[in-house]
A and B are shown apart, each in its own frame.
Chain A
Amino acid sequence: MNMMTLQIVNANVSRVPFFRFLNFEVQSMDSLHAEAEMTFLERHIGNPVMEHYHGGIIASFMEATSAIAVQPDFADVPAKPINLTVDYLRPGVRGPLYARATVTRKGKRIASVRVMAWQTDQEKPVAEGLYHFLLV
């Protein structure tokens, strides 16, 4: 996907209030993938003692990235989520968080997406998720 299209996707992202709250940018994509970077903010904190990311923020970021992988050209609202499963593997510490979503199946009505989130090393994921979306 060329630079111009990525700009359009990020312009759409910036129009979604909750995506602005999450504070992320789509960095690359093709027909089956989307990769995004989220910048750490105080409001992302879940554990106030350790200052780790809130698990719900990690899940929200993975949901947002997955929805973009499924429907990058969403006009108004992002793809409709049906359900999700998240496996939390390591604490998310202060600093940028990355997510890469892969569409494993996109049918007429339903799409399945696998997504992983990491920080400094892609081989050491912070979380992995499986999300379903309704396309109708």
Chain B
Amino acid sequence: MRDITREKIDQIAQMWNARGKGLIDHMALEIEEVSTEGVRVRMPFNPDFCVDRDQTLLHGGILTALLDSVFGLANFIAIQGVSTMATLDLRVDYLRPAHSRADIFVRAHCYRQTRHIAFNSGNIWFDGHEDAEIARGSASFALTRGETSLFDAMTREK
């Protein structure tokens, strides 16, 4: 496994944040910590993601979407020379009702990578309540190795 430079990590983080369209942009994610060991991302509270009229209870689906997104970022950083990456499967346990207007944190890492597959796990908690996880998830991703890296394809798009 080749080492990734700090510069490349920052570039990937910047590109990931500046995609300018789609769900990840809507979630307004802020990368708080990023290394090949894993990533930690903050999602500000958004009333659009709630299920109740008072808008204090988040829908489970947004937590699932958050895990899926951040697994992708963790893989970007941890795995070199990937040309495509697709979620193969995803499992999420909703451990507590997501009842708060606090920001959300998600931590994710790639705990095993092979030529074809990446394995991820991660968890979610409200700001200030890391001891009371609200969700935990794991996923596997199908990878295609190639000359054209996903990173290059996405930066060329700009």
Chain A positions near chain B (C-beta within 8 angstroms):
15-22, 42-49, 54-57, 59-61, 63-64, 76-78, 80-88, 91
Contact = CB atoms under 8 A, between A and B. Distances in A.
B90 A88 contact: yes
The A interface is mostly helix, strand or loop, or mixed, namely: mixed
Interface of B: 19-26, 47-53, 55, 57-62, 64-69, 86-94, 97, 153-154, 157
Nearest to A16: B51
A133 to B, nearest CB: 10
Closest 10 pairs (CB-CB, A-B): A56-B65, A60-B61, A45-B22, A18-B59, A54-B23, A56-B68, A83-B93, A55-B87, A81-B60, A59-B64
Contacts of A87: 88-89
A56 B124 CA distance: 15
Interface centre among A18, A22, A83, by most B CB within 10 Å? A18
B91 A84 contact: yes
Nearest to A83: B93
B65 A59 contact: yes
Nearest to B60: A81
A63 to B, nearest CB: 5
A88 B64 contact: no
B60 to A, nearest CB: 5
B52 A60 contact: no
Nearest to A42: B21
11 contacts: A18-B49, A18-B51, A42-B21, A43-B26, A54-B22, A59-B61, A59-B90, A60-B60, A60-B64, A80-B97, A86-B91
